[in-house]
Structure 1
Amino acid sequence: MTTRPNAAFTALLAAALFGATTPIAKALLGTLAPFMVAGLFYLGSGIGLAIVLVVRQTLSATRVERGDIRIPRNETPWLLGAIAAGGVAGPALLMLGLAATPAATSSLLLNLEGVFTAVIAWVVFRENVDLQVFLGMVAIVAGGAVLSWQPGAGGMTSGALLVAGACFCWAIDNNLTRKVSTNDALVIACLKGLVAGTVNLGIACMLGARLPDASHMLMAMLTGFAGYGVSLVLFVVALRNLGTARTGAYFSVAPVFGVALSLLLWPESPSMLFWCAAALMTLGVWLHLRERHEHAHTHEPLAHTHRHRHDEHHRHEHDFEWDGVEPHVHEHRHLPITHTHAHFPDIHHRHRH
């Protein structure tokens, strides 16, 4: 089983990569239209991950090493829904909202993604939450609000509602992506990038934007590969091991990494609000890390495919010649088992309480 510190580090690294794209996007937006930046970011993500996939499949000697890159037919609707919500509707609503909303208000409203993600996970998908995790989420979201707060920011205008709508779309995306998180994270992130990139570039061209010169295009696509592509792969892995609400909470610290990089690129003394936000988010992460959820629970029969080791949840035989190398990837079946141990809402512990 993946330990919480390792899974938390994966989620925080995803947040760091994504947060770092904000100051770079700010620099690019001086010369490029918003939809063009979004399109190039996503397309760079999709193309970059596609290259990684081809290299991996070419160098892997066996089927078990390569893994299955196909998405099961019964899970395809979840993935399509995630792409439509997070890769198409979300960016479109955000760009429309930014055009009519003060920057300070937009930054503040973007913290709603973590709230919406947790609420949908807890209410709709019945993901477990205890008081400590809830307080951790409150601390992280409060830190994001403090970080983006500016006195005199506008109220809930139509533009602000559009930004809030974008956050809701991304929250839906996060929860739907969790439904397919047992599949190859590279494939999931690659498909999202290719579809979202094509759609956003199409919108940009329809609005009259033109492709930038080669240097700006390369910078945008490389930034997208790291900040949207690699970040999303890590995010999917974290969803697999932590559940949606907890992964969303860790990912909500992304603005701190963005501000930190901004301070390095455009040096100035950090404000008191930055340190207050960092303290609140650190408190929230600490509350999540020290969570211990343990009770007797029953695993129902389950068949799926993901990278695994032969731990207490993976005691199965192989229908192929196996060289003993772990971890490895193949379809496997879980038999019913009842036991007690500390756990969190990973792909093997999605039970009712």
Structure 2
Amino acid sequence: MSLRTASPALIAALLFGASTPLAKALTGSMPPLLLAGLLYLGSGLGLGIVLAARRAFSGRAQTSVGGAPAIPRHEIPWLLAAILAGGVAGPALLMTGLASTSAASASLLLNVEGVFTAVIAWVVFKENADRQIVLGMIAIVAGGLLLSWQAESTRLSVGAILIIGACLCWAIDNNLTRKASSNDALLIACLKGLVAGICNTGFAFAAGAEMPALPTIGAAMAVGFAGYGVSLALFVVGLRLLGAARTGAYFSVAPLFGVIISFILWPEAPGILFWISGALMALGVWLHLRESHEHEHSHEPMAHAHAHRHDAHHQHDHDFPWDGSEPHRHWHRHEPLVHKHPHYPDIHHRHSH
């Protein structure tokens, strides 16, 4: 697997890992539900501006080239369920848990999300799990456990249990979003942010929360745009390219980035366990990057829309004017195909073994 293929998931992990200690710094200035709402509003509104700018500069709607709908109707239930799990329940649990948990400990507990994501992907959605991928996940989780030991986060306080509950919600979200990952990643992340932001902010005000100062609102929305919005859009791209289990595994290095940011915000010299755990996580990422999964496989007939180039899997004609630009997005049909090449459980390779 090339670093280029894995980079969306790794950058998503960096942005999300950095957002946890930054969100922790804001927990004392507003109720947890309101903070969750502002983080997601920053995500949704920020990505909405990006989508509007993209459309204005391109002169056409990028989500509807060749007559393709923004999101197919049969995929909307998957997306709505993902939003409820990961955009409403998950952040509410996280922000409530952050109120009574240290930033470093919270960052480390987020390591559980990758494990839950992979287990659900392997057990429920039957993604293939090569030995090297499993070993890589074990190395990443082992690194997270060592970090947790150093940060004294092994005791399951109420705050820790709430954060683990948030991780389960996000793992469900990740696997459900995988079903709609062929669509515009910016649009999916924008919709998640807007719905989750409106719901959590509404719940907070209904519970009696007061509006914080404008600089605090701006800071929360800025953190949300980068750590939730851009990160989520990149995560969706990862789901499209790698499937849920592998994307979740790469995303599991987020706690390491979170701890590094925590040390910068609250200076503390990292001990030997930090360096050992960092090496284990690096080993896990390296094992994933060197994966080569190749066998003869069959492609069933399929029709969908996503950004693509005319590669071995996309040999088709167009029933609309096309200027030859690539990548482009439109409804297209895949005819039956049997061939052999290295691949991962992306949107075209979700077959049984």
Cross-structure match for 1:313: 313
Q: How far 1:338 sits from its partner (Å)?
A: 0.2
Task: List aligned pairs for 1:109-258, cutoff 5 A.
Answer: 109-150=109-150, 153=153, 155-156=155-156, 160-258=160-258
Q: 1:92 to 1:189 in 2, by over 3 A?
A: same
Name the amino acid aligned to 2:290.
R
Query: Is the contact between residue 111 and residue 252 of structure 1 (CA under 8 Å) also seen in structure 2?
Result: yes
Name the amino acid aligned to 1:141.
V
SS of corresponding position for 1:346:
coil
SS of corresponding position for 1:50:
helix
Query: Is the contact between residue 104 and residue 149 of structure 1 (CA under 8 Å) also seen in structure 2?
Result: no
Cross-structure match for 1:89: 89
Cross-structure match for 1:14: 12
* Separation of aligned partners in 2, 1:10 and 1:25: 22
| Further displaced range: 288-297 or 166-175 | 166-175
How big is each residue's C-alpha offset from its partner over 1:124-177, in whole Å with a ceiling of 9 and x where there is no partner? 100010111001011111112222224765644665544332221111000000
| Further displaced range: 241-250 or 155-164 | 155-164
Cross-structure match for 1:341: 341
Cross-structure match for 2:281: 281
* Separation of aligned partners in 1, 2:251 and 2:70: 27
* Separation of aligned partners in 2, 1:101 and 1:262: 13
Q: 1:64 to 1:172 in 2, by over 3 A?
A: closer
Query: Is the contact between residue 69 and residue 187 of structure 1 (CA under 8 Å) also seen in structure 2?
Result: no
How big is each residue's C-alpha offset from its partner over 1:173-221, in whole Å with a ceiling of 9 and x where there is no partner? 0000000000111111011001111111122223322121111111111
Query: Structure 1, unaligned stretches of length 5 or more?
Result: none
SS of corresponding position for 2:70:
coil
SS of corresponding position for 2:200:
helix
Cross-structure match for 2:59: 61
* Separation of aligned partners in 2, 1:348 and 1:60: 28
SS of corresponding position for 2:28:
coil
Q: How far 1:109 sits from its partner (Å)?
A: 3.8
Identical residues among aligned pairs (%): 65
Q: 1:46 aligns with which of 33, 44, 47?
A: 44
How big is each residue's C-alpha offset from its partner over 1:226-245, in whole Å with a ceiling of 9 and x where there is no partner? 11101100000010000100
Q: How far 1:37 sits from its partner (Å)?
A: 1.6
| Further displaced range: 290-299 or 141-150 | 141-150
* Separation of aligned partners in 2, 1:63 and 1:104: 42
* Separation of aligned partners in 2, 1:37 and 1:157: 21
TM-score, normalised relative to structure 2:
0.93
| Further displaced range: 20-29 or 91-100 | 91-100
Q: How far 1:107 sits from its partner (Å)?
A: 5.0
Query: Is the contact between residue 132 and residue 287 of structure 2 (CA under 8 Å) also seen in structure 1?
Result: yes
SS of corresponding position for 2:169:
helix
Query: Is the contact between residue 55 and residue 62 of structure 2 (CA under 8 Å) also seen in structure 1?
Result: no
* Separation of aligned partners in 1, 2:240 and 2:264: 33
| Further displaced range: 103-112 or 241-250 | 103-112
Query: Is the contact between residue 36 and residue 95 of structure 2 (CA under 8 Å) also seen in structure 1?
Result: no
Query: Is the contact between residue 45 and residue 225 of structure 1 (CA under 8 Å) also seen in structure 2?
Result: yes
Name the amino acid aligned to 1:149.
W
Q: 1:4 to 1:178 in 2, by over 3 A?
A: farther
SS of corresponding position for 2:25:
helix
TM-score, normalised relative to structure 1:
0.93
How big is each residue's C-alpha offset from its partner over 1:5-43, in whole Å with a ceiling of 9 and x where there is no partner? 212111101111111112211221232222222111100
Q: 1:270 to 1:155 in 2, by over 3 A?
A: closer
Query: Is the contact between residue 306 and residue 329 of structure 1 (CA under 8 Å) also seen in structure 2?
Result: yes
Q: 1:28 aligns with which of 15, 18, 26?
A: 26
Name the amino acid aligned to 1:223.
V
Cross-structure match for 2:330: 330
Q: 1:18 to 1:237 in 2, by over 3 A?
A: same
SS of corresponding position for 1:30:
helix
Q: 1:56 to 1:98 in 2, by over 3 A?
A: closer
* Separation of aligned partners in 2, 1:103 and 1:9: 25
Question: How many residue pairs were aligned?
Answer: 351
